Structure 1
């Protein structure tokens, strides 16, 4: 009986350790690197193994970002998200740091196998992860922008492996940055009560909710402009790109802006918007791959 309980406890800790990395966002980071590699060249030209290494490295970057953020956010999560692994006591801080170190080692090892440029690139993204959680999260918009830079950076990393930072992957990375920036603005709006109690300064805790809604609308407009005025002209198949980008990128972000602007129930509207954006993330990334 004691052995079974111990085994169950180990399984629970491993599950909790996995949960703080957010496996789905790690997968999206890996796919973002693959998208960048496809836009910059073709993985077959440099070897599929290198493309796989870039995907693993960027998944590690995102895992580190998520785990470190959970460690730094522990006081706020105890208030607003007590079900999370660390806030609920399922996982200790020491174990969480062990996960961070293991993922950082994985990231740097795979990046080093790709070359010195990729090693520096991956190291810079890891430093941004740490800077966000311990310095830049407690800012108005700067931290949100850094998260967008890291997510867009995963796409550029993949591009650097197969063909370099040409125009198409740069346009795609900029679009990812805008998408994630909008998502982060809405997320701080949802977390405003807990962040305020924990003492974080964000757009949503410093200003009225209408300011965050306006900021999201501005970012959504910039994303739509980037897709229509920049993305379509650089695509080799602009009609196909727009056919996919219209429902997968433009429509979701515009719908979210409308929901935030018109809904009187702020909690319900932010939850609905975050769900829509999460669902749009993968198909939106697929549409960006069509810039090729």
Structure 2
């Protein structure tokens, strides 16, 4: 039982809900987008399969990153299964490979209308994740490129993968929505880097706070908490987004206001970002993702 609990912890379960929700939200958005999809069993089957895939894939991504971050985690996260010695490296690799194999198999079976778009999107996401974690590229070492290789799979492609569980991704709307989330994570993903500066520096990872300093990095990422959500209002006004007009306008306004508030928390005392183990802005990043995902689903459902 303890062994299974260790594997469960290794997969970082609290991070698995967000990608699953992202796929479900993307599926609901696609179903409600013009032209609306008529009710069918596949409107439940493929999105639920896709949500399971996203959770398993994220567990694999988490595991892969921990394997290659072992020396860094000895400083930043010494209680995790690998640096604490509760999990052997061989066991970690077995868990990682199993997660990737299962996720890709699930993605292949997400094929509405016989299309395997979800599989190819997921495969692209896996490539991005390997670029982020694995040498020789290991973009985690390369400043803004770390953010790019987080934002593409976890922001842009996640929403498009969700859309692909219902409709084809050929068109502007799914990519426009994905871009909103991608641009958000392009900056917001740095919130986790401030408290990890000591370990990242020793591990040769030149994150934005290390390259530019805490205060400047906080200012650099601030637009990502505001600008992407203005795109919701623009998209609704230009009819790129075909959900409920006023619900989208309200969502855009609320998310923009929320983003401004988070910027205020970061910028009023930026030095706290590097002192607190997990600054409140990091928690708000996840909350903003949940609110935005839920808001999009609601705007296309009604």
- TM (norm. structure 2) is 0.85
Q: Map of 1:5-84 to 2, 5 A cutoff?
A: 11-41=1-31, 42=37, 44-45=39-40, 47=42, 48-84=44-80
The ranges of structure 1 where at least 4 consecutive aligned residues each deviate by more than 6 angstroms after the TM superposition are: none
Deviations 1:226-249 (A, max 9, x none): 2332256524322223334444x3
Q: Map of 1:110-149 to 2, 5 A cutoff?
A: 110-115=106-111, 116-134=116-134, 135-149=138-152
Instruction: Please state whether the residue corresponding to 2:82 is helix, strand or coil.
Output: coil
Instruction: Please state whether the residue corresponding to 1:122 is helix, strand or coil.
Output: helix
2:11 and 2:253 map into 1 onto residues whose CA distance is 31
1:277 corresponds in structure 2 to: 285
Asked whether the 8 Å contact 1:189–1:212 carries over to 2, the reply is no
1:175 and 1:269 map into 2 onto residues whose CA distance is 28
Asked whether the 8 Å contact 1:260–1:269 carries over to 2, the reply is no
Q: 2:257 aligns with which of 241, 247, 251?
A: 251
Instruction: Flag the structure with higher helix content.
Output: 1
1:223 corresponds in structure 2 to: 228
Structure 1 residue 170, shift from structure 2 partner: 2.3
2:166 corresponds in structure 1 to: 162
2:285 and 2:48 map into 1 onto residues whose CA distance is 27
Structure 1 residue 20, shift from structure 2 partner: 2.3
2:34 corresponds in structure 1 to: none
Instruction: Please state whether the residue corresponding to 1:90 is helix, strand or coil.
Output: coil
1:213 and 1:270 map into 2 onto residues whose CA distance is 15
- Unmatched tracts of structure 1, length 5 or more: 1-10
- Unmatched tracts of structure 2, length 5 or more: 32-36
Deviations 1:226-285 (A, max 9, x none): 2332256524322223334444x3233221211221115332496111122223332221
2:177 and 2:203 map into 1 onto residues whose CA distance is 35
Structure 1 residue 156, shift from structure 2 partner: 0.7
Q: Map of 1:185-196 to 2, 5 A cutoff?
A: 185-196=190-201
2:272 corresponds in structure 1 to: 265
Cα–Cα, structure 1 residues 283 and 291, in superposed 2: closer, same or farther, change >3 Å? same
2:119 and 2:292 map into 1 onto residues whose CA distance is 28
Deviations 1:127-146 (A, max 9, x none): 22111112111111111121
Query: Alignment RMSD, CA only?
Result: 2.2
- TM (norm. structure 1) is 0.87
Structure 1 residue 119, shift from structure 2 partner: 2.4
1:43 and 1:195 map into 2 onto residues whose CA distance is 50
Asked whether the 8 Å contact 2:27–2:166 carries over to 1, the reply is yes
Asked whether the 8 Å contact 2:82–2:89 carries over to 1, the reply is yes
2:243 corresponds in structure 1 to: 236
Asked whether the 8 Å contact 1:171–1:231 carries over to 2, the reply is no
Asked whether the 8 Å contact 2:160–2:174 carries over to 1, the reply is yes
1:180 lines up with 2:185 in the alignment:
yes
1:4 corresponds in structure 2 to: none
Q: Report how many aligned residue pairs link the two structures.
A: 281
1:202 corresponds in structure 2 to: 207
Structure 1 residue 290, shift from structure 2 partner: 3.5
